[in-house]
């Protein structure tokens, strides 16, 4: 035990983190079994031991930022379980059509009460776009407006939203830009909520896998869904989008990304948050879109996700007294670990957020993407 504990303490000191220290980002270890568990299981052991109450940290986001900045992940030893986790992702198609609904059931169907409490009135479960003085709602409206401007939406445009979530972007686009079309989700709870949320605007909701898409659209958008597609299916995804687009259309892809190609998400996130997830790398995206699309714009905006996740955490924490009637204390610790370590990962630039604008044949006169969208319009529906 002693040597294992000292090894962990030594590694943490490289990142300016101490165990039982006095600073908010230091760890308070309550159970010495923490040390061998982390040594043996890496991030899975770190997250599960936190969920079990074996350690605490007041500033998990700062702790995570420091750990990634010091590249402590280099010291993780590839245990048999870890090797098998990544080997399965390499061998099998973890995001096949048969498996595609798993993330819907296990994550997005957790409960609309949870997401209503945590998110903005438009239920945007993706990175906001912040400017000085914004609150979460302002920043999310700014993000939606940026997307609509990049897509050059006009009245009567036929819009397809792949991974429409609870319908917020589709409603905003219909109300503010006069578009019509469809949103797509694999989640039962999202589909049910979105149908009510979109009542009164010409947007329908389909609960189906993206591979089943039919129809033709002028514009296509996909926000926060590509992370569930998997590299074995990237080519199919882009070809499906192309099949559904007009030749003069535009496609905006909004996705979290990683700095190097990986086969699967980390074991803790895979087990508790996003089963079968996989973050794309730049090279995998560009290889998959070859022959089908022209890259018009690539906007890196991952630094905006830090503030988004902290705002979600504040909302969730504030709502916990009423949510605790439906969710356990272990869930609270799991969700806190998820939100705050994710904030630290984006802050460290370990993971990224991109918006790509693609066209089937290239914009003839050239394409210029906005970075500061037009002044805010009145916020409409605020269910």
* More confident call, 23 vs 261: 23
Task: Give 196-250 as a DSSP string.
Answer: HHTTTSSEEEEES-GGG--S-EEEEEEES-GGGT-GGGHHHHHHHHHHTEEEEEE
**362-382 confidence digits (pLDDT tens):** 999 999 999 988 654 443 433
- Structure confidence at residue 342 as a pLDDT band (50, 70, 90): very high
Give which of 173, 223, 220 is closest to 201, Cα–Cα.
Answer: 173
3-state secondary structure of 55: strand
Asked whether the predicted pLDDT for residue 76 surpasses 70, the reply is no
CATH (residue range 102-302+349-359): 3.40.50.150
Running DSSP on this structure, what letter comes out for residue 106? I
Asked whether the predicted pLDDT for residue 339 surpasses 70, the reply is yes
pLDDT at residue number 328? 97
pLDDT at residue number 93? 62
User: Which phi and psi (to 5°) does residue 253 adopt?
Assistant: -110, 120
pLDDT at residue number 349? 96
pLDDT at residue number 380? 40
Asked whether the predicted pLDDT for residue 94 surpasses 80, the reply is no
Average pLDDT over residues 19-48: 95
- Structure confidence at residue 329 as a pLDDT band (50, 70, 90): very high
Please list the residue range(s) of the chain that carry CATH number 3.40.50.150. Answer: 102-302+349-359
Asked whether the predicted pLDDT for residue 88 surpasses 80, the reply is no
3-state secondary structure of 257: strand
Asked whether the predicted pLDDT for residue 82 surpasses 80, the reply is no
Average pLDDT over residues 148-172: 97
In this structure, of 152-166, 258-272, 366-380, the range with the lowest mean pLDDT score is: 366-380
- Structure confidence at residue 87 as a pLDDT band (50, 70, 90): low
User: What rounded mean pLDDT belongs to the chain?
Assistant: 92
pTM above 0.95, yes or no: no
**204-218 confidence digits (pLDDT tens):** 999 999 999 999 999
Give which of 340, 346, 342 is closest to 25, Cα–Cα.
Answer: 340
pLDDT at residue number 343? 98
Asked whether the predicted pLDDT for residue 150 surpasses 80, the reply is yes
**C-alpha triplet 324, 325, 328: angle, nearest 5°:** 50
pLDDT at residue number 379? 39
């Amino acid at each position: 035990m002693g040597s294992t504990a000292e090894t962990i303490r030594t590694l943490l000191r490289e990142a300016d983190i101490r165990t039982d220290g006095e600073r908010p980002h230091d760890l308070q270890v309550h159970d010495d079994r923490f040390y061998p568990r982390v040594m043996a299981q890496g991030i899975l052991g770190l997250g599960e031991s936190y969920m079990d109450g074996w350690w605490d940290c007041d500033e998990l986001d700062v702790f995570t930022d420091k750990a990634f900045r010091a590249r402590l992940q280099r010291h993780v030893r590839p245990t048999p379980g870890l090797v098998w986790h990544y080997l399965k992702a390499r061998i099998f198609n973890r995001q096949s059509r048969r498996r595609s609904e798993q993330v819907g059931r296990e994550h997005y169907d957790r409960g609309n009460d949870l997401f209503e409490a945590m998110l903005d009135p438009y239920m945007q479960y993706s990175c906001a776009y912040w400017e000085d003085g914004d609150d979460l709602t302002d920043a999310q409206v700014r993000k939606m407006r940026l997307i609509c401007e990049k897509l050059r939406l006009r009245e009567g445009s036929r819009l397809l939203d792949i991974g429409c979530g609870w319908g917020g972007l589709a409603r905003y686009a219909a109300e503010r830009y006069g578009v019509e079309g469809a949103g797509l989700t694999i989640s039962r709870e999202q589909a049910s909520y979105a149908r009510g949320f979109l009542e009164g605007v010409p947007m329908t909701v389909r609960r189906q896998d993206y591979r089943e898409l039919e129809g033709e659209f002028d514009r296509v958008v996909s926000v926060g869904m590509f992370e569930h597609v998997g590299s074995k299916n990237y080519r199919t995804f882009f070809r499906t989008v192309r099949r559904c687009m007009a030749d003069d259309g535009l496609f905006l892809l909004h996705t979290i990304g990683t700095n190097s190609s990986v086969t699967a998400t980390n074991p803790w996130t895979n087990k508790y948050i996003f089963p079968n997830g996989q973050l794309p790398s730049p090279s995998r995206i560009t290889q998959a879109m070859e022959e089908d699309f022209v890259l018009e714009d690539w906007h890196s905006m991952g630094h905006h996700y830090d503030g988004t996740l902290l705002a979600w955490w504040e909302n969730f924490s504030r709502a916990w007294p009423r949510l605790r009637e439906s969710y356990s204390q272990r869930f609270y610790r799991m969700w806190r670990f998820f939100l705050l370590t994710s904030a630290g990962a984006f802050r460290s630039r370990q993971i990224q957020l991109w918006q790509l604008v693609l066209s089937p044949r290239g914009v003839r006169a050239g394409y210029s993407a906005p970075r500061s969208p037009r002044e805010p319009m009145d916020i409409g529906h605020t269910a």
